[in-house]
Amino acid sequence: MIKVILCDDHAVVRRGIRDTISEAVDIQVVGEAGSYPELRELMRKTVCDVLVLDLNMPGRGGLEVLAALKDEGSTVKVLVVSMYPEDQYAIRCLRAGARGYVNKAGDPAELVGAIRVVQQGRKFVTPEVAQMLVDTLSAPETEELHASLSERELQTLQKIASGRKLSDIAEELMLSPKTVSVYRARVLEKLHLSNNAELTVYAIRNGLV
């Protein structure tokens, strides 16, 4: 039996995933968490094979959780599920230690298959992600500037480019306005830009919004 923990801040989404998984006789959901603190507490007392992790959560996001699990020496296999397009986050997640990446809008059967693949110690990638990996290997050894951004910095960039105010971004990410301002400053520095208008142009040109 494959033991699975679900981590997503939306209870309705967790229920949908749980209902999908329940149809598989070889997979059992042994716990659920809505945030990183809840996940840490749950994993202290619950053994699992696969962690199904949402990418966009308040507080610590998915990429930060992957980094924390790696730092803690956790051996749990992580499958990331997200509403974000694969071309924006899949490779970032795989590089951060995830075993696979599944889009929430995809076929439910794909999620079940991905859990089985990940539990076996293999990587799960869709044909689209596989092609991106091939393209990455064959591309010149130059990285786009935004590849150096952290998850929160990238989210800040995308939200600014979408027209959000810093106060709105802070509320959405459950951060202080001062913290969001720091992220904005870091983004401007890393991308060699000067203002929000230039950030927006950069995001559009690079398909980030």
**Does residue 138 have a pLDDT over 80?**
no
For 7-44, b/e burial (b = at least 16 CB within 10 A) is: bbbeeeebeebeebbeebeebebebbbbbbeebeebbe
Q: Is the dihedral of CA 72, 47, 76, 12 positive or negative?
A: negative
Q: What is the pLDDT of residues 81-105, one digit of tens each?
A: 988 767 667 888 888 889 999 988 7
DSSP string, 54-109: ES--SSS-HHHHHHHHHHTT---EEEEEESS-HHHHHHHHHHHT-SEEEETTS-HH
**Does residue 140 have a pLDDT over 60?**
no
Residues with Cβ < 8 Å from 33, sequence gap 6 or more? 5, 6, 7, 39, 41, 42
pTM above 0.75, yes or no: no
| pLDDT score recorded for residue 76 | 93
Residues with Cβ < 8 Å from 32, sequence gap 6 or more? 5, 6, 7, 14, 18, 42
Q: Is there a contact between 85 and 103 (Cβ–Cβ < 8 Å)?
A: yes
Q: What is the pLDDT of residues 15-42, one digit of tens each?
A: 999 998 888 999 999 999 998 889 999 9
The CA distance from 41 to 120, in Å, is 25
| pLDDT score recorded for residue 143 | 60
Mean pLDDT over the full length of the chain: 86
Specify which of 21-25, 33-37, 115-119, 190-194 reaches the highest per-range mean pLDDT: 115-119
| pLDDT score recorded for residue 187 | 92
| pLDDT score recorded for residue 137 | 60
| pLDDT score recorded for residue 186 | 92
**Does residue 126 have a pLDDT over 50?**
yes
Give the ranges where the chain is alpha helix by DSSP (H).
11-22, 36-45, 62-71, 86-96, 108-119, 127-138, 151-161, 166-173, 177-191, 196-205
Domains plus CATH for the chain? 2-138 (3.40.50.2300), 145-205 (1.10.10.10)
